[in-house]
Amino acid sequence: MILDLAAVEPGAAELSRPEAIAVVGSGAAGLAVAMRLEELGRPVVLVESGGDARDGEAIAAAAPLNEGEVVGHSYRGLVDGRQRSLGGATQLWHGQCTRLRDGDLAPRPWLPHSGWPLDLAELEPWYEAAERWFELSGRGYDRARWDEHRRLSPLPWSGDRLLDDFAEYAPLPHLGDRFRQHLRTSPSLLTLVRATAVGVRVEDDRVTGVELRDAAGRELFLTAGTVVIAAGAVESARLLMLSDREGVGLGTGRELTGRYLQDHPVAALLEVEPTRRAWLQDRTSHLFARDARIWPKVRLAPEAQEREQLVAANAVLVHEVDDPELDAVRRVVDALRRRRLPEDLAGDVRLAARAVVPTVRTGWRRWVRGLASGRPASRVRLDVWLEQVPDPESRVTLDPDHRDAFGLPSPRVDWRVSDVEVRTSRTMARWVAEDLRRNGLAEVTELPAMTDDAAWRESVADAFHPAGTTRMSTDPRAGVVDPDLRVHGVRGLYVASSSVFPIAGYANPTLTIVALALRLADHLADRSRQGVGHPA
């Protein structure tokens, strides 16, 4: 059942659920936890700050709650990478999924604060469960994926430095749309919308519930024996800080709350001039096979990372097409998806219509072969996507000088990018260029970011993949949550988010987020079955 918090009276039965698990946030993590707990027979209250993902007015009304101050390096993801609605940021997501690997999880002596307290064997069954949840093929993300496209020879990357890599796209990435009907009709999963969590209440080191505000600012309290914060890396850290009177955080790791903010810096470093444009474009654009859409990429080999003391990274060739008709199609599709009209509706529709016939004619033949549409690119560039060195000074804090609509401190983001990321991106770009030239596939021109540090920092952008702000650790002095995602020192309080990643790797984070969320749901249900009244 979906219920607007404005329709709930203080003290109503919907707000007194000591036996229930309250999940704050209905993005990928929150939906995965809530729906898995529902499947396992546990009562759940899902709390969402926004409303229906189709309600553009509600999304616009909630958007100011995402605002805050950015200091230091530009950080677009604070506002542009977040959405308050059912489905959360997945409503902005294109659906790319891939896994972290052994080398991403293991401590690396040349990278301070690296290493997870979990290994790949522990995550493997949960990755498989997450792939089923997203309806992915489960066929992996490495060189073997070329077997699905035997007509295409793989790019000849030097295996000692560069390796094949793939992302696979979730067929239904917008989870608010995908699960709306289920949430409406579920008898055991209560979803409260337009219900903004502004704090978690703790008594005697045990969580007792969630402090809420409705759209009008009315104060209500949701009693719950267990609380899972699944509000993304910025807001999850902010909620823990808002819940502590000193604005530091809850639990024994409170001093680390908000620290170690990471993202995936994306740097454009090379212009590429293919010698066989169609050949290269077919092997580095989206491919379609059976039940999957995949994107071929290239990643740094672990041995090369260690040898050169680099962070993990991958790279993609981006094929830009100067085509006003296709640009109009994109604007119309994007407007429909966001439920807004294009600025020049008549003009865009007229241009888009011209693209339909030739695109269908050529696209059908290529689709049968599993290839992308095939419009020739006007420009090709190399983008490198980077892991980051965890830095305690890269962080989210509360800004007492700027407050939200409820009078609470807004987030203040200080995102930092290190020289290791700069060096890694240039090293990888140089290796890609050498492999392309050696095999007669392309000539390359270096962009200013390859040699000019100021140009690199001016052009690099975040990928809307925040992580690390409530990092996972076995030692309460080294992190905010334990390997079961429980906040150190607080019984019944958990975090499900990329915020728990100690180091984020370079992989798109959503598949890992859901794997950890499903693992957490089973942990909470197991403790209940073992006779523990409320999970500790």
Q: Residue 230: which of 78, 58, 381, 25 has the closest Cα?
A: 25
What is the mean pLDDT of the segment spanning 151-177?
A: 96
Q: What is the pLDDT of residue 354?
A: 63
Q: Give 238-271 pLDDT, tens digit per residue.
A: 999 999 877 777 888 899 999 999 999 999 999 9
- pLDDT-derived band of residue 353, with 50, 70 and 90 as boundaries? low
For 12, phi then psi, to 5°, come to -65, 160
In the chain, what is the greatest distance between 2 CA atoms, to the nearest angstrom?
72
Can you count the helices (H) and strands (E) in the chain? 14, 19
Q: Where are the domains of the chain?
A: 1-135+170-263+390-415+464-536, 324-368
Low-confidence winner among 13-17, 361-365, 396-400, 512-516 (lowest mean pLDDT): 361-365
Is a pLDDT exceeding 70 seen at residue 91?
A: yes
Q: Which two tokens stand for residue 72?
A: 């230091």
Q: Residue 180: which of 323, 10, 34, 53 has the closest Cα?
A: 53
- pLDDT-derived band of residue 1, with 50, 70 and 90 as boundaries? very high
For 109, phi then psi, to 5°, come to -55, -30
Topology, domain 1-135+170-263+390-415+464-536: FAD/NAD(P)-binding domain (3.50.50)
Dihedral (C-alpha) 137, 519, 226, 183: value to the nearest 10 degrees?
A: 10
What is the mean pLDDT of the segment spanning 495-502?
A: 98
Q: What is the pLDDT of residue 167?
A: 98
* Spatial CB neighbours of 215, under 8 Å, sequence gap ≥ 6: 5, 6, 61, 194
Residue owning tokens 């546990």:
42
Q: Which two tokens stand for residue 331?
A: 């604007």
Q: Residue 517: which of 191, 208, 123, 192 has the closest Cα?
A: 123
Q: Which two tokens stand for residue 198?
A: 């502004």
Average pLDDT, the chain: 91
Low-confidence winner among 9-18, 160-169, 346-355, 449-458 (lowest mean pLDDT): 346-355
Rounded to whole angstroms, the Cα distance separating 356 from 352 reads 7
Q: What is the pTM of this model?
A: 0.91
Q: Give 111-137 pLDDT, tens digit per residue.
A: 999 999 999 999 999 999 999 999 999
Rounded to whole angstroms, the Cα distance separating 129 from 125 reads 6
120 C-beta neighbours (distance < 10 Å), count = 16
Is a pLDDT exceeding 80 seen at residue 371?
A: no
Q: What is the pLDDT of residue 65?
A: 96
Rounded to whole angstroms, the Cα distance separating 285 from 319 reads 8
How far CA 375 is from CA of 268, 272, 371, in Å, comes to: 22, 17, 11
Rounded to whole angstroms, the Cα distance separating 166 from 141 reads 5
Is a pLDDT exceeding 70 seen at residue 368?
A: no
**Beta bridge pairs of residue 481:** 472, 487
Q: What is the pLDDT of residue 324?
A: 59
